[in-house]
Structure 1
Amino acid sequence: MSTPPDSPPPGTAPLDDSPVPDYAALHRLDGRVHVVLGAGNGIGRQTTHALTAAGARVLCVDADKERTRAVAAETGAVPYVADITRRAEVRDLFAFCARELGAVHGVVDIVGMARYADLADLDDAAWDWHFDIVLRHAWLTVQYGAEAVAASGGGPLAFVASVSGLTGAPRHAAYGAAKAGLVSLVRSAAVEYGPRGVRVNAVAPGVVWTPRVAGLIGAEGRRRNAGNAPLGRVAETSDIAATLLFLSTPLSAYVSGQTLVVDGGVGVKFPYPTVGGPS
């Protein structure tokens, strides 16, 4: 390979003397205040554990009072009950956090749910429900949460999207369209709030073994989905929480506007039968 004419000869480039960060410290969130929305179960519970283990002070928000209190008791987080599809409740929870815990340095929004149905069978109520539970709260979280984080000097917002918003699947039309909207919202928010020091990203899981999924597909569904994944298993809720932790720490300080797929490699497989391979 020839050397480009404007490149220095090999071995003559200036020595890199840039400062080396304390990489171990970049894992930490000591003293920083983070809000977890949808913290009462599954991925939200694990994310609350992950953030508190990294030193964060966490406001643990969920619509279910008992679950919220249980997770807060496990982790030392502060419980808060709210329906985050309602503007006033989102506004009030961020005001409470700033008043009781101090400046808000980061937000993780996990809330979302699907009711699977054929596209032809979807009615107005089902369509509206998906956009309310999947997308509306994320929009409100950006409006109030990103403002709160910007006011504290900047920091991360992380959302849970889905591979359903990046691909197509039977019976996923409303859910997938709402998640695709979330992915677009993340990009736009990253552009608008970046100049104020706010990073906005999302995680797009595939199949995750949450209590809801376990009840939906059972052991046989888990076996089939594990066999479909190059890593040979379905995701645990802790796998997604670990990724959200990365997006919430200074380790990801130059990552913004991205949707990180966490699906065990399913989405990169060749989608057709392999010619000449095992039958």
Structure 2
Amino acid sequence: MSDGPAPGSAPDAVPDTSPVPDYAALHRLDGRALVLLGAGNGIGRQTAHALAAGGARVLCVDADEERARAVAAETGGVPYAADVTRREAVRELFAAAPELLGGRPVGGVVDIVGMARYAALPELDDEGWDWHFDLVLRHAWLAVQYGGGAVAAAGGGPLVFVASVSGLTAAPLHAAYGAAKAGLISLVRSAAVELGPRGVRVNAVAPGVVWTPRVAALLGPEGRRLNAENAPLGRVAETRDIAAALYFLASPQSSYMTGQTLVVDGGVGVKFPYPTVGGAR
């Protein structure tokens, strides 16, 4: 079908002469220095590879020093061990980052950190609640404060977080985790509004079931089969699927996106429910 004017309508008065960018180049991260929190395993490791393959110099941060060193060696990055739930550790991390990254300012932050402990809501104790909010939400708040400030000072760039479909819907045994992830999604929106005028874009990816080493150990082959059958795409997410979405939000391809949570769940969110294995998703 022609995209010209319909019969009887006025033709466009002004033709489109806007410049066409090099779209392939917008996918690259050459010359950028990025901080990756939670780089040592699963989604974090795949994301370290994705960012490095795109040309970025990556500071690979993990609570486990051995894992940080291993993924940095694989990707040509720089290892750094820190507990990013502690304010002083995060402050020191972003103070040291430019020198560790070869004198380049921090051009973006990608944050993978987070984990769930399964517990029924009536049985959830204070320690379990606090653990989720420290690991899932507190560290992200600190990353926004110190990482967002560093990126703003460098002239702007992306902050990208891993949320969860549990923060958008509800799942059995996920009360504390889901509440913390919902808080993270809200934090992403607020940070996008506050930091946008300083050139900082803040977005998140919300995965469903992702076949990380931890999830594989928890759900086993039967859990994989059930979750694959439940997904319209017929499979569970691999860690590379989430790394690819994180890469997109860290790249100039997404330069006009901020305050958004991108769901990457194979289409499961448009149907209901998730299957369960042993009472846990």
Q: TM-score normalised to the size of structure 1?
A: 0.93
Partner in structure 1 of residue 90 of structure 2: 90
Partner in structure 2 of residue 277 of structure 1: none
The one of 183, 189, 192 equivalent to 1:190 is 192
In structure 2, stretches of 5+ residues that fail to align are 1-7, 274-281
1:233 maps to 2:235: yes
Query: Distance in 2 between the 1:54 and 1:228 partners?
Result: 33
1:29-44 aligned at under 5 Å gives the runs 29-44=29-44
Partner in structure 2 of residue 56 of structure 1: 56
Q: Offset of 1:98 from its aligned partner?
A: 1.5
Query: Distance in 2 between the 1:168 and 1:49 partners?
Result: 32
1:98-247 aligned at under 5 Å gives the runs 98-101=98-101, 102-247=104-249
CA deviation string 1:63-102 (max 9, x = no partner): 1111111101100000000000000110111111122322
Q: Offset of 1:270 from its aligned partner?
A: 6.3
Query: Distance in 2 between the 1:269 and 1:169 partners?
Result: 14
Partner in structure 2 of residue 253 of structure 1: 255
Partner in structure 2 of residue 18 of structure 1: 18
Query: Distance in 2 between the 1:169 and 1:247 partners?
Result: 26
Query: Distance in 1 between the 2:203 and 2:112 partners?
Result: 12
Query: Distance in 2 between the 1:70 and 1:270 partners?
Result: 39
The share of aligned pairs that are identical, in percent, is 78
Query: Distance in 1 between the 2:187 and 2:9 partners?
Result: 46
Task: Confirm or deny: 8 A CA contact 2:32 2:57 kept in the other structure.
Answer: yes
Partner in structure 2 of residue 72 of structure 1: 72
Deviates more, 1:149-158 or 1:95-104: 95-104
Q: What is the aligned-residue RMSD (CA, Å)? A: 1.1
Residue identity opposite 1:201 in structure 2: N
Q: Offset of 1:170 from its aligned partner?
A: 1.3
CA deviation string 1:218-271 (max 9, x = no partner): 010000000000000000000000000000000000000000000000001266
The count of corresponding residues between Structure 1 and Structure 2 is: 264
Q: Offset of 1:112 from its aligned partner?
A: 0.3
CA deviation string 1:44-70 (max 9, x = no partner): 000000000000000000011111111
CA deviation string 1:120-170 (max 9, x = no partner): 000111100100010000000000000000001000000000000000111
Query: Distance in 2 between the 1:270 and 1:99 partners?
Result: 49
DSSP 3-state at the match of 2:131: helix
Query: Distance in 2 between the 1:118 and 1:230 partners?
Result: 28
DSSP 3-state at the match of 2:89: helix
Q: Offset of 1:12 from its aligned partner?
A: 3.3
Q: Offset of 1:214 from its aligned partner?
A: 0.2
